[in-house]
């Protein structure tokens, strides 16, 4: 099991925003092709109406410009309306657009985190080619054929569409190993790197479905890496899975306490916020 390259500590979709000190694997439901096509059609109509309105507004101005200036104005208007503006809106609304608001979907990163401007811009640039230049045919084929209903822009940006009106289901918390409770209470357990934390959680939740040999090997590899972030080391003879369980559970407990203290401090300093 290879840890993912990146996983941010903040994952947010709708009312189920989650902020934790460690990466958390969320079971985010992907939007189906029907919702994607519906939201895309609404966005295309909105973009076309906006372009039509701007063409009426600039109609008088174009008559007073030479050919080069007129072409530059038209190109700037089209690029701003169909590429820049959608990317900015998606960034500010965390992956939403008019069509996605109407269909209850949004765009997130492949790891479930909120999209950034570079990902939104990548989607818009490629979307201009696969949606506007081909009347949506290429985008439709990609959405139907890919596993998560991705269009080409999503494949390039590392994103996909999710249904954000469903409550997200977090994996059940991992219990600590009882035999390590005394050690965990006094040990210095540093926050794990996001990728390592996510890989560890995924292993703990999926280990029952692994072959015994693979399960033991992965547990040993993860435990050896996790042990580098704790001091003092766990007692000699500690089972690798017991160490992983305890570190994840203890980090979760400490993070929850820290967040509770931060919330109490904010409430005390800014009681009306």
Closest CA to 203 of 230, 225, 178: 225
pTM for this model (two decimals): 0.52
Question: pLDDT 10s per residue in the chain (273 long)?
Answer: 444 433 333 333 333 333 333 334 444 578 888 889 899 999 999 999 998 888 888 776 766 777 788 788 888 888 899 999 999 999 999 899 999 999 989 999 887 778 999 999 999 999 999 998 888 899 999 998 988 889 999 999 999 998 876 555 566 788 899 999 999 999 999 988 988 988 898 899 889 889 999 999 999 999 999 999 999 999 999 999 999 999 999 988 888 888 888 888 888 887 765
Report CA dihedral (190, 191, 194, 198) to the nearest 10 degrees. 90
- CA 31 – CA 181 distance, rounded (Å): 42
DSSP single-letter state for residue 134: T
């Amino acid at each position: 099991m290879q840890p993912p390259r990146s996983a941010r500590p903040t994952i947010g979709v709708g009312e189920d925003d989650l902020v934790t000190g460690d990466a958390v694997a969320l079971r985010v439901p992907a939007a189906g092709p029907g919702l994607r096509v519906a939201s895309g059609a609404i966005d295309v109509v909105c973009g076309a109406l906006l372009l039509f309105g701007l063409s009426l507004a600039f109609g008088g101005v174009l008559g007073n410009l030479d050919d080069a200036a007129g072409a530059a104005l038209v190109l700037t208007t089209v690029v701003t309306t169909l590429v820049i503006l959608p990317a900015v809106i998606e960034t500010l609304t965390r992956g939403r657009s008019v069509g996605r608001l109407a269909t209850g979907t949004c765009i997130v990163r492949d790891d479930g985190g909120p999209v950034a401007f570079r990902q939104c811009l990548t989607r818009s640039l490629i979307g201009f080619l696969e949606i506007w230049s081909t009347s949506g045919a290429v985008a439709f084929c990609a959405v139907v054929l890919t596993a998560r209903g991705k269009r080409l822009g999503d494949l390039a940006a590392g994103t996909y569409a999710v249904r954000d009106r469903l409550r997200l289901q977090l994996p059940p918390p991992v219990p600590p190993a009882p035999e390590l409770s005394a050690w965990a209470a006094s040990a210095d357990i540093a926050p794990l790197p996001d990728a390592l934390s996510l890989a560890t959680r995924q292993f703990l939740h999926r280990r029952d479905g692994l072959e015994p040999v693979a399960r033991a090997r992965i547990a040993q590899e993860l435990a050896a890496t996790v042990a580098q972030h704790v001091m003092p080391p766990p007692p000699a003879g500690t089972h690798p899975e017991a160490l992983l369980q305890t570190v994840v559970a203890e980090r979760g407990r400490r993070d929850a306490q820290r967040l509770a203290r931060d919330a109490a401090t904010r409430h005390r300093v800014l009681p009306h916020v």
